[in-house]
Amino acid sequence: MGAETVKRTFSFVDLAGFTALTEAHGDLDAVDLLDRFVGLARESVSAGDELVKTIGDAVMLASPGPGAAVAALAGLWERCSETSGFLLPRAGAHHGPAISRDGDYLGATVNLAARVAAKASGLEVAELGSHRLRNVGVPVELFEIHFGVSEPSDVIDPVCRMRVEPERAAGSLCYEGQRFWFCSMPCVAAFAADPARYLISAGRKRV
């Protein structure tokens, strides 16, 4: 199949905390969760959208325009948030021309979407300002979109980064005045052995 130039909105979506979950629960559990994630992504795309490929713990989507991309991402976020014991996704997207070839897409627009995804931290739109992205020559204005679905009431296991319902947690520990819940006893033991390690990895530093 020959190459052609098309315009699409490209999205990259990965799972926040996937590396931590793999380390805590092992490769088999991580692969199972990734298979479930790809299934949820397939359920979230509509006519005109494409699930182009998987890349590690990420999926690449192509949509006809920004509106369709936001709808697909919102659907995926909601499905993940409603799945018990699941990680939450983070995404980046960019619209523009790309080369379509053999079922894949190539070019600067695709590369920029991937770079934006790397900056993602979560339909309220917040301006994040101008950012320099790796291997992109000029600064790019970024915007953060908060989807109109409620945040889950679950808490995050600090070891594996999995969402945990406190009433169903395997255990909890109190450290420095804060209570933490865990999905399994191995995660309880890992945290008890070195709590500072997991607080720092989650963005909290000891003072």
Write out pLDDT tens, residues 14-27: 998 898 889 889 99
Domain co-membership, 188 together with 124: no
**What percent of the chain has pLDDT above 70?**
84
Where does the pLDDT of residue 84 fall: very low under 50, low under 70, confident under 90, or very high at 90 and above? Answer: confident
Domain co-membership, 136 together with 183: no
Residue 71 in domain: yes
Cα separations (Å) of 62 from 4, 34, 140?
Answer: 15, 19, 20
CA end-to-end distance (rounded Å), the chain: 59
Final residue before a domain boundary, out of 101, 122, 146: 146
Domain co-membership, 133 together with 190: no
Domain co-membership, 140 together with 175: no
Where does the pLDDT of residue 128 fall: very low under 50, low under 70, confident under 90, or very high at 90 and above? Answer: low
Residue 45 in domain: yes
Q: What is the pLDDT of residue 38?
A: 96
Q: What is the pLDDT of residue 145?
A: 63
Number of structural domains in the chain:
2
Q: What is the DSSP letter of 160?
A: T
Cα separations (Å) of 23 from 149, 160, 165?
Answer: 30, 7, 21
Q: Is the pTM of this model over 0.85?
A: no
Report the candidate in 71, 64, 107 with the shortest Cα–Cα distance to residue 91: 71
Residue 32 in domain: yes
Where does the pLDDT of residue 193 fall: very low under 50, low under 70, confident under 90, or very high at 90 and above? Answer: confident
Q: What is the pLDDT of residue 206?
A: 38
Instruction: List, for residues 35-57, the tens digit of each pLDDT value.
Output: 999 999 999 999 999 999 999 89
What gap in Å lies between CA 88 and CA 76, rounded to an integer? 10
Domain co-membership, 190 together with 101: no
Cα separations (Å) of 168 from 88, 163, 183, 184, 190?
Answer: 18, 11, 8, 10, 19
Instruction: List, for residues 98-126, the tens digit of each pLDDT value.
Output: 999 999 999 999 999 988 887 776 544 45
Domain co-membership, 9 together with 71: yes
Q: Pick the more confident residue, 92 or 145.
A: 92
- Helices 185-193 and 18-25: angle between axes, nearest 10 degrees: 100
Domain co-membership, 52 together with 88: yes
Domain that holds residue 67: 4-146
The arithmetic mean of pLDDT across residues 125-148, rounded, is 67
Residue 20 in domain: yes
Final residue before a domain boundary, out of 123, 146, 169: 146
Final residue before a domain boundary, out of 124, 146, 168: 146
Q: What is the DSSP letter of 167?
A: G
Domain co-membership, 78 together with 173: no
| DSSP H or E stretch at residue 21 | helix 18-25
CB 41 within 8 A of CB 61: yes
Residue 207 in domain: no
Residue 206 in domain: no
3-state SS of 29-51 is HHHHHHHHHHHHHHHHCCCCCEE
Burial class from Cβ neighbours inside 10 Å (0-12, 13-18, 19+) for residue 77 reads buried
Token digits for 95? 């619209």
Residue 39 in domain: yes
Domain co-membership, 58 together with 15: yes
Q: What is the pLDDT of residue 10?
A: 96
Domain co-membership, 95 together with 136: yes
Residue 129 in domain: yes
Alpha-carbon torsion angle 207, 162, 178, 147, nearest 10: 90
Q: Pick the more confident residue, 62 or 128.
A: 62
CB 159 within 8 A of CB 171: no
